[in-house]
Structure 1
Amino acid sequence: MKICFATNNSKKIEEVRAALPKSIEIVSLKEIGCEEELPETGDTLDHNAFQKARYVKEKYGVDCFADDTGLEVAALQGEPGVYSGRYAGEPRSDERNVDLLLKNLSGISNREAQFRTVIALILGEDEYAFEGVAKGKIIEERRGEKGFGYDPVFVPEGMNRTFAELDMEEKNRISHRGKAVHALVQFLTSKNF
């Protein structure tokens, strides 16, 4: 089966390709001729994921899935949440987003947080949603060179290393995106697509 992953983030594509069985081939936006930025104006992760998937399906006519991920920090009432990618404003910058997060958590002892991913899948006329959550905490300084986004400051529950210190296989087993992709893969393989 060939399906488009509606994202311009090459690191996300790499993570998802590593988690999928060989029977499912991921095609990037670039490979279908989509060079534009996808719309992402919703106020929930579900809305954004479906908005991106529907845009690709309607404009390019291909079956696809899109994701949206948010980091939800308890002490910040769930922020940055749906605005995680642009927390520090435009242009988007992982570095500035992490700086702002650490600044906003300065002096706060409750560092509990969770990453949440929603995947919106469109196959033909049908739409499906899958979710994955990774609970953990935000540490006070960056550690690790792998991953992207908030990975260098997020330590998942039961571990003492950040997502940025884990290799891709380890991260995919426990991450929010890994769990959502696992649910997607189980669905696709059970339907024999």
Structure 2
Amino acid sequence: MSVDSIIFVTSNPHKAEEVRRIFKKYGLRFKIHSMKTLEVQSTSLAEIACISAAQAYANLEKPLFVEDSGLFIEALQGFPGPYSSYVYKTIGLDGVLKLVGDRREAVFKSVICLYGVEDRPLFFSGESRGRIAEEPRGRHGFGFDPIFIPRGSRKTLAEMSLDEKNRFSHRGRAVEGLVKWIYKDRGRSAGR
């Protein structure tokens, strides 16, 4: 597989830039295809990513990957989880902050589904443990970034530069897994 021919299917320009930055660090490139896929209702990020990837592959018939992520808040038994996008659009940051209470532990999870390169989908996952801030902080990022403080930092993801965020983020970790697979598949090391 030529990595330069791989397509990242997303309609989110913020995700595309985060992934592009990590690929660039390793001298890799990908093409972006903005496509809306059916919004699958599932409790599994992997299932959502896989179904979306299969839909995209049916249209494009080229190697591609799709990413899905969610914020899992422990005090809310993992809610909003795979429903994060919908929850963000409906009740927003303030609504989530009202629901959390005193137990603020949370984990951001990301799953990438690579489709069309082998006879089965390949999955790469990442997570970032942390806590929910008392109030939104920062002006970078998107979604729940202004209220998530990753373990090992005092800043929310929205207070970080993109490169700093990628070192802490769930998506950054999933993309690093994909990059390692690409280099393994190409018979090289993913070292810089």
TM-score normalised to structure 2 length? 0.89
Structure 1 runs (4+) greater than 4 angstroms displaced: none
Offset of 1:151 from its aligned partner?
A: 0.4
Letter aligned with residue 19 of structure 2: V
Q: Which amino acid aligns with 2:95?
A: L
Counterpart CA distance in 2 for 1:52 and 1:25 is: 22
Of 153, 173, 182, 1:179 maps to 173
Structure 2 distance, partners of 1:192, 1:104, is 47
The one-letter amino acid of 1:97's match is G
Question: CA RMSD, aligned part only?
Answer: 1.6
Partner of 1:98: 93
Counterpart residue number, 2:32:
28
Instruction: Tell me what 2:38 maps to.
Output: 39
1:40: how far off? 2.4
**Structure 2: where are the runs of 5+ without partners?**
188-192
**Which stretch has the larger CA shift, 58-67 or 10-19?**
58-67
Distance 1:27 1:186 in 2: 18
CA distance in 2, matches of 1:191, 1:112: 37
Q: Structure 1 residues 1-10 or 144-153, which shifts more?
A: 1-10
| SS of residue paired to 1:121 | strand
Q: Is the 8 A contact 1:63 1:124 kept in 2?
A: no
Shift in Å at residue 143 of structure 1? 0.5
Offset from partner CA, 1:67-108 (integer Å, 9 cap, x none): 1101000000000000000015xxx36xx4212201212xx2
Following superposition, the deviation at residue 66 of structure 1 comes to 0.4
Aligned residues: 181
Q: Do the aligned partners of 1:40 and 1:51 also contact (CA within 8 Å) in 2?
A: no
Superposed counterparts of 1:1-193, under 5 Å: 1=3, 2-21=5-24, 23-30=27-34, 34=35, 37-43=36-42, 44-87=44-87, 92=89, 96-105=91-100, 108-122=101-115, 123-192=117-186
**How far did 1:124 drift?**
4.9
The residue identity in structure 2 corresponding to 1:110 is: R
